[in-house]
A and B are shown apart, each in its own frame.
Chain A
Amino acid sequence: MTEGAEQERRIRVLIAKPGLDGHDRGAKVVAASLRDAGMEVIYTGIRQTPQMIAEAALQEDVDVVGLSILSGAHLELFPRVVEALGERGIGPDDVLLFCGGIIPRADWEAVRELGFRGVFGPGTDTREIATFIREQLPTLPARVL
């Protein structure tokens, strides 16, 4: 193999908004900040079903999935996203999951138990999310390189 031929690895991130709320400013800010941190960010737009999100994660072969939700339906929708990912052989052990938006602190534990390693609320410094991804990604037990 020619030395130096291999591409420098870019972290690929899917940012998605499940459910019906149409406010994606937060999602876009996070997407732009991760791009500025040197990552390849796939943004899918608003009103995504769990199946669409999981299918996008599969086709794009992302390392990270970030969900943004403001509607309050996270405990309804997040388990369905995790399930749809699982149906495609993608689990929280090989793809890093995080979420943000309006998620009450009382629900953080439940969200973490679903496999979301990071929960970021309003006012989060976006650099914190990039750092979180860089630190957590290498620790995923089943990550395929």
Chain B
Amino acid sequence: MTARSAEQTATALSAGVESGDRRALARAITHVERDDATGRALLAALYPRTGRAQTVGVTGSAGVGKSTLVARLAAEQRRRGRLVGIVAVDPSSPFSRGALLGDRIRMQELTADPGVFLRSMASRGHLGGLAESASGVVDVLDAGGYDVVIVETVGAGQDEVEIASATQSTVLVTSPQAGDEIQSMKAGLMEVAQLLVVNKADLAGADTAVQQLLSLLAIAAPRAWEPPVLKVVARSGEGVEQLADRIDDHQRHVRDSRHAGPERRALVEAQLTTLATAALSRRALGEARRSGVLARLVGEVADRRLDPRSAADELLAAIGAGADDGPGRPSP
């Protein structure tokens, strides 16, 4: 596809997205996810129209009931008259790079509702980073007039933490069966979650799980927003209304608080540096690949004739970036 026709496709699709054409929206998401020329032109056109949606990340380990909770939360938002977009991220196979995306199974009722748009997304194979792809998809749904955009991810690693930081309100879901896990949540997800949910709260051990979360919060650094701990039974819907209320509270906090400005700037700075880093390494490594420098260095390190650190320095020198002084060493 030439640059010109990519531009034209983007113009047509962005008009479709803004007018509520669901097919155009679906196509637009595909382009943004691929990070192709059309996708980039689309985001450039749509970005000024974003910022209206309430964006919510829902994360937690496999089996804690995230999909069921997201389905309930979406239904509650629909009851409040809001249009709901959902981005459900599932892991890709590291071997085939294929993926089996099964979140629709637990969100059956939503499929029949024209006020809900559900998109499944595979986690791997995003050169610009999954978080960037996901936040682009969120932007498209936001520009498309969806009042609430929910991103669901399996909270297992750095990628998921990054995605969480791409939404305004992050809900960390756990369950009474995950008791030991709560103990180990001292770093990472706890810091990025603004709402903590103990799902399956009808099971034994729910109160213990709540207590554990509260005691972890008690030792955390003080902050402007204190994350509430909520008991929910996603299967029956118990507690979901309160969760939606508290998400609204947090959204008000984000939009009104004196910290909103600096927080937003920090988020945007993180997004920009991630994007620029990805683009820079893509360009530089593409060059090293074409020239054969990368292959030669890989060979030398594989044969143990050269150490990886020196090889990286040589690689940087070869692509004109100069050797890296390392974070601990002063620049000359």
Interface residues of A (CB under 8 A from B): 1-10, 31-32, 34-45, 49, 51-52, 55-56, 58-61, 88-90, 144-145
Contacts and interface: CB of A to CB of B under 8 A. Distances in A.
- State the main secondary structure of chain A at its contact with B: loop
B294 to A, nearest CB: 13
Contacts of B126: 7
5 closest cross-chain pairs (CB), A and B: A45-B105, A35-B98, A61-B26, A7-B34, A38-B98
Interface of B: 1, 3, 22-23, 26-27, 29-30, 33-37, 40, 92-93, 95-102, 104-105, 108, 111-112, 117-120, 122, 125-128, 279, 282-283, 286
A61 B282 contact: no
A58 B105 contact: no
Contacts of B112: 49, 51-52, 55
A115 B123 CA distance: 32
Contact of B33 (A7, A34, A36, A88): A7
Chain B interface mostly helix, strand, loop or mixed? Answer: mixed
Given A3-B286, A59-B22, A41 B99 contact: yes
Which of A41, A55, A90 counts the most B-chain CB atoms under 10 A from its CB? A55
B1 A1 contact: no
Contacts of A8: 125
Contacts of A37: 96, 98
Nearest to B122: A40
B101 A9 contact: no
A1 B105 contact: no
Given A7-B125, A8-B125, A41 B100 contact: yes
Contacts of A3: 283, 286
Given A8-B125, A61-B26, A41 B98 contact: yes
B98 A34 contact: yes
Contacts of A51: 112
A43 B1 CA distance: 30
Contacts of A90: 23
B101 A56 contact: no
Given A42-B120, A43-B105, A5 B98 contact: no
A52 B113 CA distance: 10
A60 B279 contact: no
A145 B104 CA distance: 24
B29 A2 contact: no
Contacts of B102: 42-43, 45
A127 to B, nearest CB: 13
A4 B127 contact: yes
